[in-house]
Amino acid sequence: MARIYVEGWSPEYGSPLDPDDVLAPSEGSVDVGVELPDRADWAPLEGRDDGATPIAFVDGVRRIDARLTLDDPVEGPVPGLCGTFAVGATIWDRAAVRAHVTAVRVERWAVLAGGRGETMPPVALEPGYATTACASSDPDDLVRELHTRMRRAEGVVASTLAAEGFVVADGPLNDLTPHPTVGYVKSHRVTYLDAQERAVIPQLAPGQRTPLFTIWDYKRYSWYLRLAVVRGGHSWSGIVRCEAPGGLPLEEVRAIADRTAAVLPLVASQEHLDPRAPQNLVPIAALEKELRHRMGDPRLVGRALREAVMAEAS
């Protein structure tokens, strides 16, 4: 019989294992022999810290500021939303033993369903709301439109900073330009490995990684690593998956994978400080706090929205 565990993450953040479709088989073609051609050689590999600095941690946060309804006398009510997102990076200068937030970018968007052409009235905020149309009327698709725009903005920040140093981008990679950028995936919805290779993951100790595998349909390398041993956790607790662009040379990706396995456990969060420990890395948590501050107080934003709409109506 399988044991039951209580996840360490605070429930409002979901689960590191998808509750609806836990570890569904991957739809992409996966090659587990890219680093170790003999499947019998698959075993935990030790990470190696090559001293790379600076390291940029890129992330974004979003917020739904208000739900909208466009009252069309012919078509009837049309849904929409107003949302804000902010993206940026924490730069960790390991040589100087310091970190700072940079490259912050805030955008506000009004998303209207049904391909509408209306625009938001001017709102007393900086920046104001740009308007975009979504073909779907599904409220979830409106949120996805905002989320997609945030991910694209994160990709721009990551690509810019990759020219200056090593980048860890929170979430799957959006830009597959062959830069030294790692996509850092905290939760698991798909299994990319067969049972033989998947059995290596529970064996990982902090600072170790799996051998590389490729997901060629999505043009990327990938590997798993363990950040920490979680008290009372199951065999996948503290496990994250990383990605690198498929256009990078294999030896460079191997060095990057070794680096992540050795360095990321150093900045893993702790349970008493972060509700998504250990996966929510300390530099990313600090960045998220600053980005939420830059988005503005949600109550003031909501008031400015209502005043703008009332002013136009009058």
198 by Cβ neighbours in 10 Å (0-12 / 13-18 / 19+) ranks as middle
pLDDT value of position 109 = 96
Q: Which of 223, 234, 147 is nearest to 185 (CA)?
A: 223
The residues spanned by each domain of the chain are 11-309
**pLDDT at residue 26, rounded to an integer:** 54
Confidence at residue 21, expressed as pLDDT on a 0 to 100 scale: 37
Residue 43 has pLDDT above 80, yes or no: yes
Tokens coding 227: 């950040």
Tens of pLDDT, residues 124-140: 999 999 999 999 989 89
Evaluate if residue 144 carries a pLDDT over 60.
Answer: yes
Per-residue confidence (pLDDT) for residue 20, from 0 to 100? 38
Mean pLDDT over 183-209 rounds to: 93
What is the C-alpha separation between 172 and 241, in angstroms, rounded? 9
Q: How many CB atoms lie within 10 A of CB 86?
A: 25
pLDDT, residue 314, reads: 76
- For 82-144, the DSSP string reads EEEEEEEEEEEETTTTEEEEEEEEEEEEEEEETT----PPP-SSSS-EEEEEES---HHHHHH
Q: Work out the average pLDDT over 20-45.
A: 78
- pLDDT for res 23: 38
- At residue 22, the pLDDT reads 37
- Cα(248)–Cα(177) distance, rounded to whole angstroms? 9
* Average pLDDT of the chain, as a whole number: 90
Task: Give residue-wise pLDDT tens across range 270-306.
Answer: 888 888 889 999 999 999 999 999 999 999 999 999 9
**What global pTM score does this model have?**
0.89
Rounded CA-CA distance 6/12 in Å is 14
Using one digit for the tens of pLDDT, what is the confidence trace for 58-115? 999 999 999 999 888 888 888 999 999 999 999 999 988 899 999 999 999 999 998 8
Residue 268 has pLDDT above 50, yes or no: yes
Residue 216: per-residue pLDDT: 84
